[in-house]
Amino acid sequence: MDLIEKSKKYLWLPFTQMKDYDSDPLIIESGKGIKVKDVHGKEYFDAFSSVWLNVHGHRKKELDDAVREQLQKISHSTLLGMTNVPATELAEELVKIAPRSLSRVFYSDSGAEAVEIAVKMAYQYWQNIGEKDKQKFVSIKNGYHGDTIGAVSVGAIDIFHKVYGPLMFEGFKTAVPHVYRYPENDPEKCRDEALETLENLLKEYHKEIAGLTIESMVQGAGGMIVLPEGYLSGVRELCSKYDVLMIVDEVATGFGRTGKMFACEHEGVEPDLMAAGKGITGGYLPIAITYTTEKIYEAFYDEYTNLKTFFHGHSYTGNQLGCAAALANLKLFEKEQINQQVARKAEYLQELFEDILDLSHVGDIRQLGFMCGIELVYDKKTKEPFPFESRAAYKASLKMRELGLLTRPTGDVVVFMPPLASTEAELKEMVQIMKQAINSVTIEEALHVAATSY
Ligand X SMILES: *Cc1c(COP(=O)(O)O)cnc(C)c1O
What residues make contact with ligand X under the rule CB under 6 A? 110-112, 115, 144-146, 215, 220-221, 249, 251-252, 277
SS3 366: strand
Do the Cβ atoms of 177 and 103 come closer than 8 Å?
Answer: no
Q: Taking the complex as a whole, how short is the minimal distance between the CB of residue 272 and ligand X, in angstroms?
A: 17
Do the Cβ atoms of 296 and 273 come closer than 8 Å?
Answer: yes
SS3 213: strand
CA distance 142 to 154: 10
Best CA proximity match to 50, nearest among 92, 1, 86, 14: 14
Do the Cβ atoms of 202 and 234 come closer than 8 Å?
Answer: no
Specify the DSSP element, H or E, that contains 151. helix 149-153
**Cβ neighbours, 10 Å, residue 432:** 15
Q: At what angle do helices 338-357 and 424-453 cross, to 10 degrees?
A: 40
Q: Which residues touch 50 (CB under 8 Å, ≥6 apart)?
A: 36, 283
Best CA proximity match to 149, nearest among 115, 176, 174: 115
In a 13 Å sphere around the CA of 313, the CA atoms on its Cβ side amount to: 14
The DSSP bridge partners found for residue 372 are: 367, 416
**Cβ neighbours, 10 Å, residue 80:** 11
